[in-house]
Structure 1
Amino acid sequence: TTDAPTTGVDPVCVPYEPPACAPAVGTPGAASCVDDDGCGPGEVCFLIPALAQGLCSECTEDADCPGGGCTIPNPSIGSGAFCNPGAACDGCTSDAGCNDPEAARCGLIFDFPGIVQSRTCSECASDDDCPGDQPNCAPVITDLFNLGGVRRCVADCSLADGQACELGADHTCLSGHCSVALIAMVYEQGVCGECTSDADCDAGQTCLDAFVDLEANTLVGATCL
């Protein structure tokens, strides 16, 4: 089934073009730590509770970065958190870390409980930040491996198969289906696809789950087969 917009008229679906977004990536090789004493001069320990340790970093929050924001560490490559200029797609922990007027909100991109929470300077942080013709604050995943992305305001039925979507917001997908892809077996990411269940497919077909292709660094929407 499809959660269609309830405007009383059929929407004109215009495919959304994801923005170019290439934030800086941290340098691998950060020292592990349990507190600031285990780090070098000018460094702080960015703790990752689920790992019972952290990584030596430039910052733990935007307040540590004069004039910009703080990009979270990436445990998968051993890079520490670092300061950035606060441009669109740059990491942040609050709106104060964002300097681009068109990306002034610190929007949540990923939330791995007890590990890291990725937020970036975005156009919106919630639907309340969006205009009437683009009422949906949707995640745009640009770099799965480095937890990169941005939130943008998009129109109903504008996201193509394979693009990220907010779970429950089927109406933002061109297909009308936003299904779940598991990241690292702990995080549920919405992805636009052909189906959410077998009932959405032709007779005799099965709805294959959406998934994360880390080799290609991309999302793959659910498909009927």
Structure 2
Amino acid sequence: MTDWTKSSWRDKPRIQMPDYPDQDALRAVEAELSRYPLLVFAGEARRLKKHLAAAGRGDAFLLQGGDCAESFEQFSSDMIRDTFKVMLQMAIVLTHGAKVPVIKLGRMAGQFAKPRSAPTEVVGGVELPSYRGDIINELAFTAEARIPDPKKMLRAYTQAAATLNLIRAFSTGGYADVHQVHGWTLGFTESEKAEKYREIANRISDTLDFMAAAGVT
């Protein structure tokens, strides 16, 4: 590993890589992206490694969720909020049941590419390059839409940065408070289909009440 560089991956065998027809445009986008701020910082990566090690020892539980592939067209603050909210709801129930910390890992803010089993697909006798995710080409089954466009990486960066910014605000601004999250869970248990969760929700309420009485907030 002593000869590792940030670009040494280019010398390795690669699959699932798009063939950009305009290499000058690709290099221009790469140069622009190289000047942008980092999306994930070293301290965050080290903290996640520490948490994952705890899960590997059985001292924590890993909850990972998110979309198969994020979309440019479906991007909205409401969708980010709702995904974050569901993961928090799942985490509080898992924490109560497993009695260990739950590591919440989102497949978000960068999940724009889709690996494909074949480089092309055939529809109605017409063969075109496969759709590889919004960061590369478009879903519409036309020759123009399936051309890899490097500028899509710039839009993916912007959307990822906005998503991370909102999630960080939610997680530190009181939205993830355990009492508020549990309030959402109680609302869910009002559904007839959620009857089996009511007992769990009631036990969580008792636990939170005990913690509050003991001064643990």
More strand per residue: 1
Q: Which structure carries more relative contact order (alpha carbon 8 Å, separation 6+)? A: 2
- TM category (shorter chain) comes to under 0.3
More helix per residue: 2
Q: TM-score, normalised by structure 2?
A: 0.19
Structure with larger Rg: 2
